[in-house]
Chains A and B, each alone.
Chain A
């Protein structure tokens, strides 16, 4: 089946820093979503981005479907950005989550 790999697995940054999270997938997909799971377990939609670039405040995402990867950019990090970031892809009626990037922003 399709493989979804996220990198890095863990990231510790100082408040105010920028970061780039990556999601690689092994085959073509119907769509891709980025989620943030906060320390309380809540999953928050960040982007629904099968291709192209989208921006929402300090966050932006780019998916290059032909090269099978997506990037999530976080600028001027805040402590509330801490948590786990997941990408999830859809392919042929299957949903596959990556293992996530655990982000910890230090005050």
Chain B
């Protein structure tokens, strides 16, 4: 149980393209979803938290207009990297939790999306 599907697994595109990444909870209702970014050989950095039906809460230093997050249903959240540039290249990972308040339930992670902007 507790499966999170993230798609696509890899994206290579030209600078200026917008890229959408989907995160789906397959067998549970994800009240809260999280988006992380990970640089090579570094830890995960939380970008934003989204609760179903509410606006996402972004961490300090993360551009809201650059990284658009939508959590329209209890099983789907999307991250759109708008007008991507080479510095946006990274590994993006989503996670989902059945809890509305972080900490009450474990997080379950997708397999990540490796984004390469040429």
Contact = CB atoms under 8 A, between A and B. Distances in A.
Given A86-B44, A90-B103, A41 B114 contact: yes
Top 4 A-B residue pairs of the complex, sorted by shortest distance between their CB atoms: A30-B103, A90-B103, A48-B106, A43-B109
Given A43-B112, A95-B34, A100 B43 contact: yes
Interface residues of A, number: 23
Contacts of A95: 34, 46, 102, 107
User: How many of chain B's residues touch chain A, expressed as a range?
Assistant: 20 to 34
Tell which of A41, A43, A48, A99 has the most Cβ of chain B within 10 Å. A43
Interface in A69-107: 86, 88, 90-91, 93-95, 97-100
Interface of A: 29-31, 33, 35, 40-45, 48, 86, 88, 90-91, 93-95, 97-100
